[in-house]
Each structure stands twice: as structure tokens, then as C-alpha cells.
């Protein structure tokens, strides 16, 4: 309803002098399938709302494909106006000197009102610099959620676990009821990065990488290793299902009701409503009661939109106009409802509440609540170079832990050594 109202009003402004060709702006993104359909609809809506600019959105493959294509295009001086870069790639694009124009500068230069406090707490600073200036526009922002099969938990006579201690008490009962208790789909994001955020533990030196590229990873710590020893023990006991690194394989085990609970992305909510043939709910990411300063807010996942530099002022003005459209409460609310990604602004969140969306679908609000929980010193995010490759190291070593090829201690020593080697190489590449 709100999107139709917005478009009806905007159409009035689109009628006018169309003799002059609209300025074309290009947006490379990584959204396909149903998400790509929503991106295409937003593109159409923006183009229908005005006649000065024509937005062309192009899918360039997955996250890594899109980032690689964007960097190559920038080097060839053929970059798009806007590119979607995922969380792990943010340091690469931000530290590439002269590659992007900070979104905060872009908006202010084009007289688009900007106040970082208009954004919900969990998304304000992840794509900002160490001074708090927003560099990338948060777009498909997500957070890890615990999805649970209501019938499975009822059959086992257990409540949704809020802590890992509660999970350990519930897991044997779920196994007795015929279910593997838990699976999850993204070990680096959920059980490394967000473990650190949830417990307010420092992830890397240099203010989690925001202050410097000369940093070291801090994963090789007792709290995180102890968690992974528990995960391995749960797997050995039949409480934890490990279906490899593929996101879909672990999610499918939940959809097929082999697994009672699954930790995935809030951005999976929309898809699960279509694929899960059972009643499910969502809850916050569990935490250890005796670790760090838990519970604290989680990091966001997903991606942001960055404005490439090197374009003329007219095109930059078009990018600013699109970002203004994208952050309208109606646009954000539409994106949130269709996908499950969280609305990035307080106004959009308020609109969803006033429209009664969470009365109809309370589980859709859990991600926003989690991102709005009290933060700590180490919950705003991280800025680590070559982190895409570091995640690959983590995936490989987790696989070895789960398959009994390495101990937790040995795997974490390898993660520390190889991650720090990658961080050193990034520093050598980008510090000058």
C-alpha cells in the first residue's frame, strides 16, 4: 500500500519536460532470484518517481564476483556509479585510494539532509570511518537469528534457548524427540565475528581495524576456542548438524525438519516464509552467560552501496537522489517486508510499527530488536583487509575441526597465522 501511495504521488513530478534525455546512472549489485526481483522493482519505482535520472541496475553475480568486477572496472576507468559491496569486502573498497566518494559527503554536497542518528543503532557505524563519517550507504543489512521449529520444540517440551547453557539443556531432549538440535549456515560470520560482538570481545587490534591497516587478528582466544570445542562436542553427541560450508545445505536441513533450530540471516526470513511448510519462529543469537559482557548487540551482515568516484557532478547528483529515494521510509518498509532485511532508518522502523506489520508478523521484528540492543566498545563492526580470504581460511579450518582432522587449538593457531599474514600483506599494499 505504501509503495503504491508513494508512486502515485511521485508520478505527478515525473510529468513534465521529457525532451531532454535523462542522465543515466548505473548500479552493479549481487542480488539474484527473489531479491533481484525486489531490486528491479525499486529501480523501476525510482525511475517512475522522477525524469532527471535513469537508474540501470545490473546483477554482476555473487558478492565476490561483484566486488572483483567493480575493482577491475575502476582500474580500467570504466566503473559504475554505484556498487554493492558486502561486509567482508568493505576494507578493500574503502582503502582503495580515491575509489569511492563517502556517501555522507555525497549527500551533503547535493543538499540531501543527512543525520547519522536517523539510522538504527546497529547500522550507523559499520560502514563509517574511525571518525564516524558514513562511507557506504547500508543497504541489505541483516543480523544472525535463531530460527526454530515450533512443533519440534513443543514435542521435546523445551523453550527457545536464549543462552548456550539453555541450549545444552534442551539439545538432548530434542534428540530424543527425533531431531538434530541445531545447524548454522555461516561459521565466520555467526560463530566468529558475531560471537565476538555478542560478547563484546575485541576482534582485532587497531580498534577492530578502524584506526589502522597495521593490525592483528584476535580470534585465538580462550573464549572463542572454548565455544568451538563445545560445538565439536555437540556434533559428536548428535546435537549439532554440520552439513559443510554451503549456506543452502544447512538451511535445507531446517526446512526439511531434520534440524529443530537453524542460525541464519534475518535476510532469510522472507524466503523461509515461502519454503518452510511448518510454523517457525525467530529468536536472538544465543550467548554464553559467563563470557565477556554478553549479551550485547550483534554486527550487521549483508552489504552496503558505495558511490564510485570519477563521475561528473550531474551523475553524482543522480546517485544522491537515488540514495534519498532508497532511504525513504516507504522504500525501506517495502524492502523490509519483501526480503526480511532490516529497515536501516528509525523512520522506516516506526512506519512498520505504525502500520501494524509486527502485530501480524512479530518474528520479523526480532532482527531489529537485536541490532538495537545495548552496544559495547567492540560492537560497532570491523574494518579488516583481505577479510574475504580470511573467511576462506576460517571455513577450511572449521571443516577440519568438524571432521576430526585437527584439534581446536591447532585450527585456531593456523587461523591466527594465516589471517595475520593476509593482514600484513594488505597493510603493505594499502598503507602507502
Q: What's the confidence (pLDDT) of residue 121?
A: 85
In this structure, the strands spanning 259-265 and 144-149 are antiparallel
**Domain assignment present for 379:** no
Percent of the chain past pLDDT 90, that is, above it, reads 91
Are 247 and 389 found together in one domain? yes
Domain total for the chain? 2
CATH number where 420 lies: 3.40.190.10
Are 29 and 149 found together in one domain? no
Residue-wise pLDDT for 113-152, tens only, equals 999 999 998 899 999 988 899 999 999 999 999 999 999 9
Strands across the sheet containing 259-265: 180-184, 259-265, 144-149, 280-283
Tell me the pLDDT band of 418, cut-offs 50, 70 and 90.
very high
* Residue 148 and residue 307 in contact, taking contact as beta carbons nearer than 8 Å: no
Q: What's the confidence (pLDDT) of residue 130?
A: 86
Are 165 and 95 found together in one domain? no
- Nearest to 295, CA basis, from 365, 370, 220, 224: 370
- If one counts every other C-beta atom within 10 angstroms of the C-beta of residue 8, the result is 9
Domain boundary among 320, 348, 371: 371
- If one counts every other C-beta atom within 10 angstroms of the C-beta of residue 99, the result is 20
Across the range 3-26, mean pLDDT stands at 62
Its pTM stands at: 0.92
Are 128 and 155 found together in one domain? no
**Domain assignment present for 170:** yes
Q: What's the confidence (pLDDT) of residue 7?
A: 52
Residue-wise pLDDT for 232-244, tens only, equals 999 999 999 999 9
CA distance 199 to 167: 17
Residue 2 scores a pLDDT above 60: no
Are 234 and 108 found together in one domain? no
**Domain assignment present for 337:** yes
Residue 134: which domain range? 2-141+301-371
**Domain assignment present for 376:** no
**Domain assignment present for 117:** yes
CA distance 143 to 146: 10
**Domain assignment present for 380:** no
Question: Which residues on neighbouring strands pair with residue 144, listed in sequence order?
Answer: 265
CA distance 344 to 348: 7
Residue 87 scores a pLDDT above 90: yes
Amino acid at each position: 500500500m505504501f509503495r503504491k501511495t508513494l508512486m502515485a504521488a511521485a508520478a505527478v513530478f515525473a510529468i513534465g519536460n521529457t525532451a531532454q534525455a535523462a542522465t543515466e546512472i548505473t548500479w552493479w549489485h549481487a542480488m539474484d532470484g527473489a531479491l533481484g526481483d525486489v531490486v528491479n522493482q525499486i529501480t523501476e519505482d525510482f525511475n517512475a518517481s522522477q525524469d532527471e535520472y535513469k537508474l540501470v541496475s545490473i546483477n554482476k553475480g555473487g558478492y565476490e564476483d561483484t566486488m572483483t568486477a567493480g575493482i577491475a572496472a575502476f582500474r580500467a576507468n570504466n566503473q559504475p556509479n554505484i556498487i554493492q559491496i558486502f561486509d567482508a569486502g568493505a576494507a578493500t573498497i574503502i582503502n582503495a585510494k580515491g575509489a569511492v566518494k563517502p556517501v555522507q559527503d555525497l549527500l551533503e554536497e547535493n543538499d540531501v539532509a543527512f543525520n547519522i542518528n536517523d539510522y538504527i543503532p546497529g547500522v550507523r557505524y559499520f560502514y563509517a570511518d574511525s571518525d564516524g563519517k558514513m562511507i557506504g550507504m547500508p543497504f541489505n543489512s541483516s543480523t544472525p537469528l535463531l530460527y526454530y521449529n515450533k512443533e519440534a520444540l513443543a514435542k521435546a517440551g523445551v523453550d527457545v534457548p536464549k543462552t548456550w547453557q539453555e541450549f545444552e539443556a534442551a539439545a538432548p531432549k530434542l534428540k530424543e524427540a527425533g531431531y538434530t538440535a541445531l545447524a548454522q549456515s555461516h561459521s565466520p560470520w555467526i560463530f566468529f565475528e558475531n560471537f565476538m560482538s555478542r560478547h563484546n570481545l575485541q576482534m582485532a587490534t587497531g580498534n577492530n581495524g578502524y584506526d589502522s591497516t597495521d593490525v592483528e587478528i584476535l580470534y585465538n582466544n580462550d573464549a572463542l576456542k572454548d565455544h568451538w570445542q563445545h560445538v565439536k562436542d555437540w556434533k559428536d553427541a548428535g546435537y549439532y548438524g554440520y552439513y559443510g560450508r554451503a549456506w543452502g545445505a544447512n538451511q535445507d536441513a531446517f526446512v526439511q525438519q531434520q534440524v529443530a533450530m537453524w542460525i541464519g540471516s534475518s535476510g532469510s526470513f522472507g524466503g523461509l516464509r515461502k519454503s518452510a511448510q511448518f510454523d517457525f519462529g525467530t529468536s536472538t543469537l544465543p550467548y554464553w552467560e559467563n563470557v565477556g559482557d554478553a549479551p550485547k548487540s550483534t554486527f550487521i551482515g549483508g552489504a552496503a552501496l558505495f558511490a564510485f568516484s570519477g563521475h561528473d557532478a550531474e551523475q553524482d547528483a543522480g546517485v544522491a537522489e537515488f540514495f534519498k529515494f532508497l532511504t525513504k521510509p516507504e522504500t525501506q518498509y517495502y524492502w523490509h517486508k519483501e526480503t526480511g532485511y532490516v529497515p536501516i532508518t528509525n523512520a522506516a522502523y516506526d512506519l512498520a510499527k505504525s502500520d501494524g506489520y509486527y502485530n501480524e508478523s512479530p518474528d520479523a521484528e526480532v532482527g531489529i530488536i537485536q541490532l538495537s540492543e545495548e552496544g559495547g566498545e567492540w560492537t560497532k563492526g570491523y574494518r579488516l583487509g583481505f577479510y574475504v580470504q580470511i573467511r576462506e581460511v576460517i571455513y577450511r579450518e572449521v571443516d577440519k575441526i568438524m571432521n576430526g582432522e585437527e584439534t581446536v587449538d591447532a585450527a585456531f593457531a593456523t587461523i591466527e597465522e594465516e589471517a595475520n599474514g593476509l593482514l600484513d600483506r594488505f597493510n603493505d599494499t594499502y598503507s602507502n
